[in-house]
Chain A
Amino acid sequence: MSKRIVIDPVTRIEGHLRIDVEVDGGRVSQAWASGTMWRGIETILLGRDPREAWVFTQRFCGVCTTVHAMASVRAVESALGLEIPLNATYIRNLILIAHALHDHIVHFYHLCALDWVDVVSALKADPAKTSSLAESLSQWPRNSRNDLKAVQDRLKGFVESGQLGIFANGYWGHPAMKLPPEVNLLAVSHYLQALEYQRKANQAVAILGSKTPNIQNLAVGGVANAINLDNQATLNMDKLYMVKSLLDDVIQFVQQVYLPDTCAVAAYYPDWLKYGSGVTNYLAVPDLPIDSKGTAFDLPGGIIMDGALAGVRPVKDHHDVTITREITENVSHAWYKGSGTKHPWEGETNPDFTDYEPGKKYSWVKAPRLGGKPMQVGPLAQVLAGYAQGHPLTKKWADLALTTASSIAKTQITPAMLHSTLGRDAARAIRAAMLSELAIEHWQRLVDNIGRGDTDIFVQPEFPKGEIRGVGFHEAPRGTLSHWVVIENGKITNYQAVVPTTWNASPRDENGTPGPYEASLAGNPVADPEAPLEMLRTVHSFDPCLACAVHTLDPEGREISRIKVL
């Protein structure tokens, strides 16, 4: 008998991710991913001045504010063929790096760790044994027996006073939880420490961006951070050193805590290096430009089809014709008028809500395709694309992660195993380690450039008569993001955002081909349909960001529709 499970958190009035699966013999046979809110925010931009678009796009999503601002200014600059000053490039890069580090840390520790870590089991751990285990994995100074004992005592207090009940959405004691108590204690300790380091990354963004969330320092044509080393009110050496000191702390945490923790989780859950591959076509665009023309980048881009690393096609820059011409969106199964396929520059946002009918239309998310194929985007796509091309920075950190995980697991963990649920989580940590190394490089590039006497930060954009088109690509924490803009006589006439979660949470297309979430859930085990922890593991591994708009608190706590087993 097949069973259907629906995970549909009704915590907001509308607007979130709904997952439906059919379970047969303890495994998922089919899955459907649905975005339950109309993402028509692009329409608000029609008729507006392209120079102010980024202020609005930044509000597409409360979590990914910075990335939508960045993609928007890049889109308009691309339409104008505008080269921005080198300082602006590096300041933007530093913001992107700090934001991504923040985002990856929060994802692992505060969103997905509780799928793998049993907090209650940590109470049974021996702090001394935990400490020696930790020392075998990393140099991190905050893994002492006393540190770990203090965390355990604190946790004990919370459990005894019943306050852990607030984490009733954690699956403590679930049969799929496999970490020994010591590893659980170590992870809980790092879960708490991660709060400090994500704050530091956020502070770095705030110094450079004037404010978080919703940075204020961008402009079409550059940045608004006036540089004057002798002026307290502008970007000066004091502020740059504050940024560096914050980043230094975050870098240590990523390299000595986040990466080893991910390796340990992967080593203790080898089965999860088999489940969840789903769509093995990957797309990543290069990012962190190191020149004003955008010809050279520090993060690699590439396209991999059917998991064949040997056949990787590099994406060298943002003018690559495959990415500018072959991205389309199809609305066969999405609540928009018609069933057609359009290039984003021709894209339409005409909502047409019908019922939730998996055979027909069932999502507000359109189905993006590259050359007609579904693509998985995200850190895994970037790491595999870099690895396949022999990109040195990618290889360095990916090989270190694979070696570390192999030595804990006492078995060989290969790059091919990254096509999986835990592979996605591991790739995010690998990418964070790459970014941590680039953080200091780009900080130095900025300081060196200013040291050469260059204080340029902005080029005045000028809009021609007639129509121009642009696309702004950004390899965001959740994957490839693109903003597509059409401008006529200095006003926006079309604007479409193809966001990472649209690629991954894509519904089926006109050929009935499922998107990455849908494909990756097939074959997942489900031990207890009332507590489908395994499904959450796979969905979380993509770092979904869907409830991008509305949020309403329910302090009266009456929402009850949680997980429905039909």
Chain B
Amino acid sequence: MRISVLGMGNVLMGDDGAGPNAVATFAAQFDVPEEVTLLDIGTPGLDLVPHLAGVDTLLLVDTVRSDAPPGTVRTYDKATLLRAKLPPRLSPHDPALGQCLAMLEIAGCAPREVLLVGIVPEVTAFGPGLSAAVKNAIPGVVERIAMELRARGVHVEQRPAPEAPNLWWEAKV
């Protein structure tokens, strides 16, 4: 079974880096078997396709637009994502998750299961680093990733001496 855990967002744009931050933090604290891919995917737009095709289970961590307060975590399944209305396409960034899933669905190679773990951002302006609200949400999201993987029979092992996560984008000049 192929499982991908992808952190989406731009690490240089404040809370938009929440997904990559959560995945990097998870990778520093836990060991997972080879069939699990952990990846900071950036903001790939249509280029998400090669990373979804042929995957059995997709766990995606991303910022989501919602009325809930910053730092709130909400989850969405594949059916919900496929129901969301697609925006007009102007640039290759505009067709995002919904369209990539829809395309792969028609081609017959979409992930069987998708779980989007969404974090409501506070600031998505230029400059790396998370707001306090989103930073506080990261440990819960990391635990959630471990829990979801274990629920799918993946052997997830907590490291006795976890490394500091590689958040190179937050390094000061």
Contacts and interface: CB of A to CB of B under 8 A. Distances in A.
Given A556-B66, A556-B84, A557-B83, A163 B91 contact: no
Interface string A340-363: 000000000000000000000000
Contacts of B9: 551-552
A558 B124 CA distance: 19
Interface stretch (A11-19, A271-279, A288-296, A384-392): A11-19
Interface residues of A, number: 70
B65 A213 contact: no
B91 A555 contact: no
Nearest to B10: A549
B16 A63 contact: no
Pairs A-B, 9 closest by C-beta atoms: A62-B43, A557-B84, A547-B93, A11-B87, A47-B173, A62-B42, A202-B50, A199-B50, A551-B43
| Residue from A166, A202, A554 having most chain B Cβ neighbours under 10 A | A166
A563 interface: yes
Contact of B96 (A10, A11, A558): A11
B11 to A, nearest CB: 6
Interface of A: 7, 9-11, 13-14, 16-17, 19, 38, 40-41, 43-44, 46-48, 55-56, 59, 61-63, 65, 102, 106-107, 110-111, 114, 154-155, 158, 163, 166-169, 192, 195, 198-199, 202-203, 211-214, 536, 539-540, 543-559, 562-563
13 contacts: A11-B94, A44-B128, A48-B173, A59-B42, A62-B45, A111-B92, A195-B103, A198-B50, A544-B90, A551-B45, A553-B62, A555-B81, A557-B85
Interface centre among B44, B89, B107 (most CB of A within 10 A): B89
B158 interface: no
B86 to A, nearest CB: 5
A214 B90 contact: no
Of B44, B106, B127, most buried by chain A (CB within 10 Å of CB) is B106
Interface of B: 8-13, 16, 39-47, 49-50, 53, 62-66, 76, 80-99, 102-109, 116, 118, 121, 124, 126-128, 168-169, 173
Contacts of A195: 49, 53, 103-104, 107, 109
Contacts of A549: 10, 12-13, 16, 43, 126
A543 to B, nearest CB: 7
Given A195-B109, A198-B50, A552 B88 contact: no
Contact of A40 (B62, B102, B126, B173): B126
Contact of A107 (B40, B92, B116, B126): B92
Contacts of B66: 556
Contacts of A46: 173
A213 B85 contact: no
B90 A16 contact: yes
Given A7-B88, A63-B92, A213-B41, A555 B76 contact: yes
Given A9-B87, A44-B128, A543-B92, A59 B10 contact: yes
B95 A41 contact: no
A145 to B, nearest CB: 19
Contacts of A38: 126
Given A111-B95, A552-B124, A554-B65, A63 B47 contact: yes
B92 A553 contact: no
B42 A214 contact: yes
A59 B94 CA distance: 17
B65 A556 contact: yes
A550 B124 contact: yes
Contacts of A56: 12, 169
Given A46-B173, A59-B10, A552-B63, A169 B106 contact: no
B53 A199 contact: yes
A547 B90 CA distance: 9
Nearest to A478: B92
Nearest to A191: B103
Given A9-B94, A61-B43, A540-B90, 4 more contacts: A163-B102, A166-B86, A211-B39, A553-B63
A41 B109 CA distance: 36
Contacts of A13: 65, 121, 124
Contacts of A563: 88
Most chain B beta-carbon contacts within 10 A, residue among A17, A114, A211, A554:
A554
Nearest to B76: A555
A41 B40 CA distance: 19
Nearest to B173: A47
B42 A19 contact: no
A547 to B, nearest CB: 4
Contacts of A557: 83-85
A540 B8 CA distance: 25
A106 B92 contact: yes
Given A213-B42, A547-B94, A550-B16, A199 B84 contact: no
B52 to A, nearest CB: 10
A169 B92 contact: no
Given A59-B11, A549-B10, A549-B126, A544 B91 contact: yes
Nearest to B65: A554
A94 B46 CA distance: 22
Contacts of A548: 93
Nearest to B44: A62
A555 B116 contact: yes
A212 B48 CA distance: 10
B49 A554 contact: no
B93 A540 contact: no
A457 B124 CA distance: 39
B84 A555 contact: yes
A63 B44 contact: yes
Contact of B8 (A16, A111, A166, A551): A551
Contacts of A540: 89-90
Given A38-B126, A62-B45, A555-B81, A547 B91 contact: yes
B117 to A, nearest CB: 11
Given A63-B92, A192-B107, A543-B92, A106 B83 contact: no
A248 to B, nearest CB: 18
B13 A550 contact: yes
B93 A63 contact: yes
Nearest to B53: A199
B84 A551 contact: no
Residue among A48, A56, A63 facing the most chain B CB atoms (10 A cut-off): A63
A538 to B, nearest CB: 11
A42 to B, nearest CB: 10
Nearest to A41: B12
A171 to B, nearest CB: 10
Contacts of B92: 63, 106-107, 111, 543-545
Contact of B64 (A43, A544, A553): A553
